[in-house]
Every structure is written in structure tokens, then in C-alpha cells.
Amino acid sequence: MSDHKDTGGPLEPEDSAAENGRTPRKVIGTPPQTGTLLAAEEEPAPQGAGDELDEASAKRAERVIASLFLLASASSVAFIAYYIGWSGRNGGMHGIDRALESNLWLGGTMAVSFLAMAIGITLWVRRLMTSKQIVQQRGDLRSDEPTRQAFTEDFLDGAEDSAITKRPLLRRTLLLAAAPLGLAPLVLLRDLGPLPEKKLRSTYWGPAVAKAKAGGKKGVRLVVDGTDKPLRASDFASPGGMITVLPEGIHHADHALNEIAKAVTILINVPADKFKPAKGRENWHVGGIVAYSKICTHVGCPAALYEQTTHHILCPCHQSTFDATDAAKVIFGPAARSLPQLPITTDDEGYLIATGDYPEPVGPSFWERG
Ligand code: FES
């Protein structure tokens, strides 16, 4: 066998290349033989946990690991059994209660299965296998010059052979065939569902206030989410508190769940000396008690965390942070605009009431809002 110059990749059989009087040609796409991409070296293995275990301990570890695998298997079977049984019962998932129940059982069984499997495998590796140190070396990712040259030549050969420059009819019809394929993903955008149009521009606060005013009242009462109890300003007097409120009577609205999702509001008691009412909104708070939409203006998670000492409202999804003392302006994170503020005051009996709807759309800032 003759010596060959290493070009960084597998060569044609040298005898055959030499016989033909050609330079051995490299096969494109194969890794170089020197400067190895994946050259694994094994150093002398240090003693691992598996080496130190006597047979009795190893047997014990084996039994524990096998029990975990059995648990994983039982949980997976329970997952499948529950899914089949549940979807066959009462027509499957209808209503929030059914969804909660199924989430609990399906999520719980799947979590136990994955957890038991993961712990079992970890114990297997740590307790029963030998520790080894493996070194993986990496070579240059860039192809060497001969490879690049060969690629260019092959590419030009192929282009020449296809006569793409000489056959404009084929070239154009090929482009015509490819263009709709490029546009096809755009059609899938339709699957995102209908645009919200004007549905997010108003909430149930608007009609509720209008109805209250038609009945001779100043506005609609704020009721505590969960108890539906109206709230006096004096009940919410300690600075630092935050509570979720809704317009009174919202549960009787058409599509009540949708209306609640849009109208949900946080009430915060900001220290009056720190509060900076926005221009034109000086009367929209009651001694520092201020109401903002709970729907984050980023992508709509509930902005439900309030930090009493900094007066920051935090959305846990992507950490958008709003300043409750300053019209809920964004001070950190991806949200692009403030949380909308609800105008509130008190009625003759001291209950907190809203005097109008949110002046801006609640929720995420969709692109069509401009
Ligand atoms: S949804 Fe609130 S930060 Fe993303």
C-alpha cells in the first residue's frame, strides 16, 4: 500500500486511485480522519459506586430500582385506564369540574410514572454502574480547502448538467411550483382562530355601569371574586393589600365566563403619599385604592403578584412588572403598555363602585390595534 496525503476524509481505495494516475478524491460530507470530530478516549476508570457495592447491597439496590420501574409501569397503566374510562363516561370532558378532575388524575399518574422512571434510572447509574471518564474531542467544523473545492466543482458540474440557465421554461415553472409551497405555512395562521376584533375593546364594566346609572346609582359596585360581597373602602383600608374584584351581577351575564375573564380587576391599596395619579385621572382612586385590569398586556396571563414594599405588580409568566403607584406603567419585562385603569369612587354607603369601563382595551396588545 502506498502512503497517501491525508485530506481529512476517507479516500478512494489508494490502489485504484494510484492505478488511474489520479489524486485520491475525497468523499464530500465525511469527517476528517485527523483532528477527529469524535475521538473518544477512555482514561483509566476511577472506581465507581458499583465497584464498591458488595453483592448483597447491589441486590438491594436492584430490588429498589425494579420497584420504581414497576411503580412507573403501574402509573402508566393507570393513566391509560383513567383516560379510556373517563373519556367514555358522561360524554368526556364537559365543564371546568370535569377538566380539573381529569387534569388531576391524568397529570398525577403521568408525573408519578416519569418520576419513578427517572429516579430508577438515576439510581441504576449511580449505584450499579462503574464511573468512567470519557473525553470527547472536537475538531474544526469548517471543511478544509480540498473539500470545499470539490464541493464547488461538483455543484457547478451539476448546474451545468441540469442546463438550468439554458432552459428558462423549466427554471420558471420550477420557481412557480416552489412559490406556493413557501406560502403554505401562512395559510396555517388561520388555525390560530378568529381575530378578537372589537371584543376586547369593552368589558362588562361598561354595561354594568350604564345599567346602574339608569337605575339612579352612581356606578356599579365592586364585588370580591369568590364571595361576591361588595367592598367598602374602609374594609380595604390597610396599605399593601391586593384583592381581585368583579362587577356586581356579572354571574348573570350572557357568556358569564367570557365576561369574567375580560372584566377581572385587581384592587390595590397604594400608600396615598406614594401614589401619583395620571393626568386627568386624579379622581379615579379612593385614598390610594386603585383598580387595574388583572390581564397582563403582554400575552394575557393574570398579573396576580403584588410586592408590597416596592408597589410592583408582577406577571409571573414572563416577569413583566408594573408600577402600581404610577398608573401601572411597565417598568420591566416584555409587556408594551400599562395595565388599563378602572375609574372608581365610593357610593353614598361607602361601597367602592366603578363609574365607567376601562378606557383602553384590556389584555394583550394585538398587532391589529396599531
Ligand atoms: S403574559 Fe405577562 S409577562 Fe408575558
The 10s digit of each residue's pLDDT in 83-98 is 887 665 555 555 556 6
The predicted model gives 269-291 an average pLDDT of: 90
Q: Is the CB of 295 under 6 A from ligand 1?
A: no
The predicted model gives 197-223 an average pLDDT of: 90
Q: Is the CB of 316 under 6 A from ligand 1?
A: no
Give percent of the chain with pLDDT exceeding 90.
48
Asked if pLDDT for residue 35 goes beyond 50, the answer is no
Q: Is the CB of 299 under 6 A from ligand 1?
A: yes
CA of 303 to the centre of ligand 1 (A): 8
Q: Is the CB of 334 under 6 A from ligand 1?
A: yes
Entry pTM: 0.54
For the CA of 315, the closest atom of ligand 1 is 2
pLDDT at site 52: 63
The predicted model gives 145-157 an average pLDDT of: 94
Report the candidate in 362, 355, 278, 279 with the shortest Cα–Cα distance to residue 323: 278
Spatial separation of the C-alpha atoms in residues 106 and 213, rounded to whole Å: 48
Spatial separation of the C-alpha atoms in residues 359 and 340, rounded to whole Å: 7
For the CA of 333, the closest atom of ligand 1 is 3
Give percent of the chain with pLDDT exceeding 70.
81
Asked if pLDDT for residue 297 goes beyond 50, the answer is yes
Asked if pLDDT for residue 27 goes beyond 60, the answer is no
Of these ranges, 5-19, 193-207, 275-289, the one predicted with the greatest mean pLDDT is: 275-289
pLDDT at site 129: 85
For a substitution probing ligand 1, which of 295, 301, 314 has the most ligand atoms within 8 Å of its CB? 301
Show the domains of the chain with their CATH numbers: 50-189 (no CATH), 199-369 (2.102.10.10)
Give me the chain's average pLDDT, please.
82
pLDDT at site 215: 92
CA distances from 254 to 83, 215, 223, 258 (A): 32, 20, 18, 9
Spatial separation of the C-alpha atoms in residues 59 and 250, rounded to whole Å: 64
Q: Which residues contact 327 (CB under 8 A, 6 or more apart)?
A: 276, 277, 278, 281, 338, 341
Report the candidate in 216, 218, 197, 219 with the shortest Cα–Cα distance to residue 208: 219
The predicted model gives 212-237 an average pLDDT of: 92
Spatial separation of the C-alpha atoms in residues 370 and 368, rounded to whole Å: 5
CA of 198 to the centre of ligand 1 (A): 22
CA of 49 to the centre of ligand 1 (A): 46
